[in-house]
Amino acid sequence: MVVSFGFALVLALTGGVISSVYAFFPPMGSLSSTATSWLFGTLGGALVAVFLIVAWRMFARTFYEESSEIRFVNAVLLGLGMSLVGTVLYFAITAALPPGNGRSVARGIALAGSALLGLRIGYSLDRPVWLASWKGSRRRDPRSRANGARPKLLDTSVIIDGRIGDLVETGFLEGPILVPEFVLVELQAIADSSNSVRRRKGRRGLEILRKLSRDAKFDVQISNRDYPEIREVDRKLIHLAQEESATLLTIDSNLIRVAQVEGIDVLNIHALARAVRPRFIPGEGLSIEVIDRGEETDQGIGYLDDGTMVVVENGRQHIGQKIRATVKTTLQTEAGRMLFVEPASNASRWEA
């Protein structure tokens, strides 16, 4: 606080001295030119000092925050651009107003105000302004790539999930598969984890990517674009998806919410799996292997290939067997869907 006050005092006195020496302002009323110049010069120096102190504190506060370098460059670029606008206004004011103090003040406000406005607007933006029009054109024409399909950007969660390999091989995903290097780094860390389950998932994900990249049928691209000023992998993915006009493939619910807020198209494999699960109606038959006992007396438990739990009434005696069963009812829960069935030999009344 003391340093800021001292800096403001020095700058104000300097402005007053320079203004009075060169007599920037004419006499006003009973005040001489020197007094007028001293007064307005001191005031101007104090205002410049306040602006510099506020700007420095703003910069210092965000120096270690995300996108601070981008904000600084944006401020410089927009400051220069608005200075050009101020220059145009300067000449317009010169031509429009008669000579005098009013014209001088108006020209000074036009120059300084335009530059300061550009700096302030630029520093408030956390995305590169020089990419704005380029990214906008990408969004307006997202299918400008080869084969007329947008790239599919993979995150770590969808790779270690393991189903992406089968999904790509079915041919339902069109366009190039984009894998950022920072995702590979995170995947490598998971593959080297001390936790055996995470380690197996990481290695399986790396193996899936290796197989896909070696198959000429699939266009798997490794993106080396990175954002050193951003620490979070999710934020990097969002920036990359915006710059590439890519569709994000993930099963991370938090990332899905943020991406949707940012206007990014998202494909959720969990949602796809739920959508393609077979629908069963009461009376329909199916084959199920009873693998365990249920919670109620005589109940057995089995699972369909898609993971749907099947509760088999009077099925405890069939544990370890694969039987034909008839659907009684279905139940949708937060964890997924459950089927209640009974052995076909006991279900003739459900087939009516």
The secondary structure of 234-270 as a DSSP string is HHHHHHHHHHHTPEEEE--HHHHHHHHHTT--EEEHH
* pLDDT, tens only, 77-128: 887 888 888 888 888 888 887 877 667 777 777 777 787 787 778 777 656 6
User: For residues 67 and 17, which has the higher predicted lDDT (pLDDT)?
Assistant: 17
Evaluated on CA atoms 305, 309, 312, 317, the torsion sign reads positive
Listed residue (187, 176, 294, 298) closest to 244, CA to CA: 176
Region 197-225: mean pLDDT is 87
Instruction: Name the token pair of 151.
Output: 């790239």
Q: Report the C-alpha gap between 15 and 300 in whole angstroms.
A: 89
Q: Report the C-alpha gap between 217 and 170 in whole angstroms.
A: 11
Q: What is the pLDDT of residue 138?
A: 43
State if pTM tops 0.75. Answer: no
Domains of the chain: 2-130 (no CATH), 144-275 (3.40.50.1010), 280-350 (2.40.50.140)
User: For residues 289 and 346, which has the higher predicted lDDT (pLDDT)?
Assistant: 289
* pLDDT, tens only, 181-194: 999 999 999 999 89
* pLDDT, tens only, 12-34: 778 777 767 766 677 777 777 77
The position carrying tokens 């145009």 is 88
Radius of gyration from C-alpha coordinates of the chain: 34
Please, what's the largest Cα pairwise distance for the chain?
114
Q: Report the C-alpha gap between 110 and 126 in whole angstroms.
A: 26
* pLDDT tier for residue 303 given thresholds of 50, 70 and 90: confident
Q: Report the C-alpha gap between 347 and 349 in whole angstroms.
A: 5
* 36 CB neighbour count, 10 Å cutoff: 20
Q: What is the pLDDT of residue 248?
A: 92
Instruction: Name the token pair of 205.
Output: 């994900």
The position carrying tokens 């691209």 is 221
Q: How would you list the strands of the sheet with 220-223, edge to edge?
A: 220-223, 177-180, 152-154, 247-250, 266-268
* pLDDT tier for residue 130 given thresholds of 50, 70 and 90: low
What is the Cβ-side half-sphere exposure of residue 119, based on CA atoms within 13 angstroms? 15
